[in-house]
Structure 1
């Protein structure tokens, strides 16, 4: 990944999601005028110029091109979901408690932000989400400043102009970015969706009533919960640990998050002088409030991650097995990634050796070509030092594919062409596996000390223990996902970080970022198919090159029966 500094520098960084729970007996948080037991009513979100989406009206400039799309219809009803053939499980706990919903609960709506330069990603996402979830709403959050861009985007507006698409308009503000996951988490209250505000660093210091979450709460007519850690300004940590991507719910109802537990990794989210284990002040208050209100919270180790979010390394999918073991655990596995790269490189090298005479003839030609002729070849595209397969890979590097797929979906033919080149970003897998960089990365990921693989093994053990206690499933399937890391971020698009939704077979489909390395993508498709899980891919390089992925750029409202 040598060249990542040109096309994508103007991309912005935005919002993620995750779930929490505060009961009806929670302390009076007092951050909005009429907060009641932690929840503010939708009227408390200011209806002013900074929150245009709260007006519940579509801008005149959009009406002509999106006349079939809706406003204020963010989540499908129970009847719509059930009529589409998808079963809705009971809510995890009756009463008035706020609870997170894990990925075995169906998606009633998905949210993503339009940023002017992510058109192809959104087109791809709409297609894959709607393919086997016909009742689910696709919610496009549009900052007013990008309306003119959208009007010129004919391909995207065609996809948006349908009854299952809902528009949420907001005014452009510092916290309005592509990371839809980081500012809030959807959960359930009285069997209906509710929002839990999280403290993303781009929103610190802003009045709670003028934040993006408040705009969505009012536009979608759902409650807006302000947790205790948001009230005290002393809890502002100015790191990424208290964001939506770092608070999730697993089957059985336990919430889990990432904390800094292992010394020896760069302290991305702490003062370098602080000792580990480290829990931020906001996380301490978060834990106290969750546990005081009857929730379980499991801390996992994300010490090696730059952003530090658990959704980068852990996910759950619903399988074709009966409850309670109707899910599988997806875990980032550097070991699996290196295993697949090395086996692919070995196979390619073996095929080259078997070419025999062809290789011998090429060697003779190289000896007979005059130097002047060789110079001419270099002038017209050859390179004495760069293997031809690496030149092929430079043509389809992540940076090149980012540009190609910014506004138009990359065709299946183009995707297959990239797959045939066997590239890891801008290098062939054979060159990459033989490089010094590869050996350094292998030591960092597998050997240590400390090693990322060791941390992931401890996380796996902790998750399986908790699942056995709370979900009733003592041995769920575990899928080792080929992901390896450099400098705290995934080297290739992170296949763990996908969007999961229930499909019409009452299993699930996961929408993952395409890595453009066939062995990774094919392996995941094969492993998930064995479990009855649908595996689809989208072009998410505009997120990956900003250190995020598909899940980071979306937010999902799940539904349950009271």
Structure 2
């Protein structure tokens, strides 16, 4: 963490001032000294947590009650919004009233969205820091501890005060441990009237501090506070201050051990259940700590897109990290309802969830706010906790992640988001073309796996040269009914290679991926040796393509149809043709779950399976294949999109603060 020491008090080398006449140290000279258990690097502030988990275990039930209570209100508000929206659209048809109608509509839209978020705000407000009580031993463990040095010679008249001066006071709560107090576990809230007695000064007191919320915008509050101890005796006051910094919310890394894999509880007997059953078997075979957890998301299968798992930690007993998971839900409006599972299914002891409000603009492309569009580069020089990469459209500043989300991520001051161009993709998510694998013994300890359309095209070209151009693209498919035939392009290798649109899309995709890799090389310092190129193929036959194609079939011959067909031929936004390998699940012990490619069968073998295995073998990885063709691939997603993970973020090797100066 790059704290500028000129802006902060030093932890462990604290500012001391004496009010009144200077006197030599003696039994009558006040002695004020503070130390923090969570002091880390010399010259850096001590750390504390935003104590927003739910160690009392009451918030899940409360969240479910809030959603039930909110359902009628939200429905009525939606209906009212639609009526007012329609009226304003009519009003805007009058040129003289258009500008005013648009202004009213913007205000209406904002008010509507904020009203819809009321339940989210209420659910997020249920946490341990919402009250002035220490809720049991687990909650007590989340307090960062401060201690006053014992002053054995304190006279009976000596008194002390502990305060949090400055603007940071509103963001924290300070407790004092008084074993004989009636307060839970002896922790009393420090208020304006709290005084340390002479007896407490002689023995030394223990203090605890908690943050009341995460840092959301460092321009408003950067997480810094100062605790001040004033000790007065015989008309002389001695003071000591100590600087603290709230621990940032960090996103987890694929290099951290997988503890639990998550998927939606899709029980469709034809597609969803077979997919999640196969996924569960792969996770179990890998020996992951917890079997695949199936979550009721209300029918939203894109578990990756609902939230990003993060965490916050500080030095705990023995120097081992202590903290909590912090789940960051998507601000994509299409994911809003399902993302509430962070409150109803996950928040609890040592698991927090935050709400980040965002009001989308009418022309916003919300796909960029799905969390499959956020990945984290593992640790590298200058970024000990890794670095976030997030996709968008560099040519259009309005098409990218929400400003509120970017502000939140940047304000953690550790994993400065790096932008990549995902505008060339139909869905537009980072996980469609790049992912990161732990690679012990390699230069960085990890490698990037990158989709490679050029090697994918070479697989087809080699097959054609060998006389197999008549083989269909997707070999070994199960029987497909009418719902899926349009989504699975069953032309031959020869037909694909002769299709200029297909060739163009893969050439364009390769160029766009090259440009993104160049950014990673420049910013992260990747070399070709750090990158594993995985054969991939893309197509323009996206959902939008198929919808326009269907529309054209119903059109009469003529200029309108000709224009529509020209638009169809010009479409070049990309989606995976062969189920996307890079869009998979990183397990432990050098294993990876990839979607079964269903590539051309030559000599009874899938040529893409062979090429993918060969690419992963260079990393020492074994690939487990799971059929996601009908469950996710035909809906323009893959295994990574449909899963999420909780990884080991509190091991002794996860002390991010050791290299943050």
TM-score (norm: length of structure 2): 0.50
- Structure 1 residue aligned with 2:637: 548
Preserved contact between residue 103 and residue 316 of structure 1 (Cα < 8 Å): yes
- Structure 2 residue aligned with 1:123: 277
- Structure 1 residue aligned with 2:523: 466
Decide which of 173, 196, 201 is 2:328's aligned counterpart.
196
For residues 534 and 203 of structure 1, the distance between their equivalents in structure 2, rounded to whole angstroms, comes to: 33
For residues 609 and 524 of structure 2, the distance between their equivalents in structure 1, rounded to whole angstroms, comes to: 27
Preserved contact between residue 200 and residue 242 of structure 1 (Cα < 8 Å): yes
What SS does structure 2 have at the residue aligned with 1:548? coil
The Cα of 1:219 is off from its aligned counterpart by: 6.4
For residues 231 and 428 of structure 1, the distance between their equivalents in structure 2, rounded to whole angstroms, comes to: 46
- Structure 2 residue aligned with 1:96: 247
Decide which of 509, 517, 531 is 2:591's aligned counterpart.
509
The Cα of 1:256 is off from its aligned counterpart by: 0.4
In structure 2, the CA distance between the partners of 1:464 and 1:136, relative to structure 1 (3 Å rule), is: farther
Preserved contact between residue 509 and residue 574 of structure 2 (Cα < 8 Å): no
CA distances 1:71-98 after superposition (whole Å, capped 9, x unpaired): xxxxxxxxxxxxxxxxxxxxxxx97321
For residues 475 and 115 of structure 1, the distance between their equivalents in structure 2, rounded to whole angstroms, comes to: 40
For residues 548 and 399 of structure 1, the distance between their equivalents in structure 2, rounded to whole angstroms, comes to: 18
For residues 401 and 316 of structure 1, the distance between their equivalents in structure 2, rounded to whole angstroms, comes to: 37
- Structure 2 residue aligned with 1:78: none
- Structure 2 residue aligned with 1:178: 301
For residues 458 and 202 of structure 1, the distance between their equivalents in structure 2, rounded to whole angstroms, comes to: 30
1:158-177 aligned within 5 A: 172=298, 176-177=299-300
- Structure 1 residue aligned with 2:64: 48
For residues 95 and 284 of structure 1, the distance between their equivalents in structure 2, rounded to whole angstroms, comes to: 22
Q: CA RMSD in A?
A: 3.5
- Structure 2 residue aligned with 1:483: 537
The Cα of 1:521 is off from its aligned counterpart by: 1.7
CA distances 1:174-200 after superposition (whole Å, capped 9, x unpaired): xx4111111101122224432111113
- Structure 2 residue aligned with 1:112: 263
For residues 43 and 282 of structure 1, the distance between their equivalents in structure 2, rounded to whole angstroms, comes to: 33
For residues 465 and 352 of structure 2, the distance between their equivalents in structure 1, rounded to whole angstroms, comes to: 56
For residues 238 and 40 of structure 1, the distance between their equivalents in structure 2, rounded to whole angstroms, comes to: 32
- Structure 2 residue aligned with 1:257: 390
Preserved contact between residue 39 and residue 226 of structure 1 (Cα < 8 Å): no
Preserved contact between residue 307 and residue 327 of structure 2 (Cα < 8 Å): yes
The Cα of 1:489 is off from its aligned counterpart by: 1.3
Residues 1:222 and 2:342 aligned together: no
For residues 52 and 358 of structure 2, the distance between their equivalents in structure 1, rounded to whole angstroms, comes to: 13
Preserved contact between residue 259 and residue 647 of structure 2 (Cα < 8 Å): yes
In structure 2, the CA distance between the partners of 1:432 and 1:50, relative to structure 1 (3 Å rule), is: farther
Preserved contact between residue 59 and residue 348 of structure 2 (Cα < 8 Å): no
- Structure 2 residue aligned with 1:312: 432
The Cα of 1:201 is off from its aligned counterpart by: 2.6
For residues 254 and 475 of structure 2, the distance between their equivalents in structure 1, rounded to whole angstroms, comes to: 38
For residues 582 and 401 of structure 2, the distance between their equivalents in structure 1, rounded to whole angstroms, comes to: 26
For residues 287 and 587 of structure 2, the distance between their equivalents in structure 1, rounded to whole angstroms, comes to: 8
What SS does structure 2 have at the residue aligned with 1:223? strand
For residues 203 and 484 of structure 1, the distance between their equivalents in structure 2, rounded to whole angstroms, comes to: 26
For residues 398 and 337 of structure 1, the distance between their equivalents in structure 2, rounded to whole angstroms, comes to: 25
The Cα of 1:516 is off from its aligned counterpart by: 1.1
For residues 402 and 531 of structure 1, the distance between their equivalents in structure 2, rounded to whole angstroms, comes to: 38
What SS does structure 1 have at the residue aligned with 2:305? coil
Larger Rg: 2
The Cα of 1:233 is off from its aligned counterpart by: 6.3
Decide which of 437, 445, 468 is 2:506's aligned counterpart.
445
Preserved contact between residue 40 and residue 225 of structure 1 (Cα < 8 Å): no
In structure 2, the CA distance between the partners of 1:512 and 1:528, relative to structure 1 (3 Å rule), is: same
For residues 597 and 579 of structure 2, the distance between their equivalents in structure 1, rounded to whole angstroms, comes to: 5
Structure showing the higher strand proportion among its residues: 2
- Structure 1 residue aligned with 2:456: 337
- Structure 1 residue aligned with 2:420: 300
TM-score (norm: length of structure 1): 0.58
The Cα of 1:316 is off from its aligned counterpart by: 1.0
For residues 306 and 39 of structure 1, the distance between their equivalents in structure 2, rounded to whole angstroms, comes to: 37
The Cα of 1:452 is off from its aligned counterpart by: 2.0
- Structure 1 residue aligned with 2:584: 498
1:375-386 aligned within 5 A: none
In structure 2, the CA distance between the partners of 1:203 and 1:460, relative to structure 1 (3 Å rule), is: closer
For residues 349 and 361 of structure 2, the distance between their equivalents in structure 1, rounded to whole angstroms, comes to: 31
Preserved contact between residue 186 and residue 556 of structure 1 (Cα < 8 Å): yes
CA distances 1:422-480 after superposition (whole Å, capped 9, x unpaired): xx8523324433x4x3x32112321xxxx2221111100111222229xxx89513324
The gaps in structure 2 that reach 5 residues or longer are 1-7, 9-48, 69-244, 314-322, 380-385, 541-572, 600-605, 656-661
- Structure 2 residue aligned with 1:242: 369
For residues 282 and 396 of structure 1, the distance between their equivalents in structure 2, rounded to whole angstroms, comes to: 37
For residues 282 and 403 of structure 1, the distance between their equivalents in structure 2, rounded to whole angstroms, comes to: 32
- Structure 1 residue aligned with 2:396: 277
What SS does structure 2 have at the residue aligned with 1:516? coil
Preserved contact between residue 100 and residue 188 of structure 1 (Cα < 8 Å): yes
The Cα of 1:105 is off from its aligned counterpart by: 0.8
For residues 520 and 479 of structure 2, the distance between their equivalents in structure 1, rounded to whole angstroms, comes to: 33
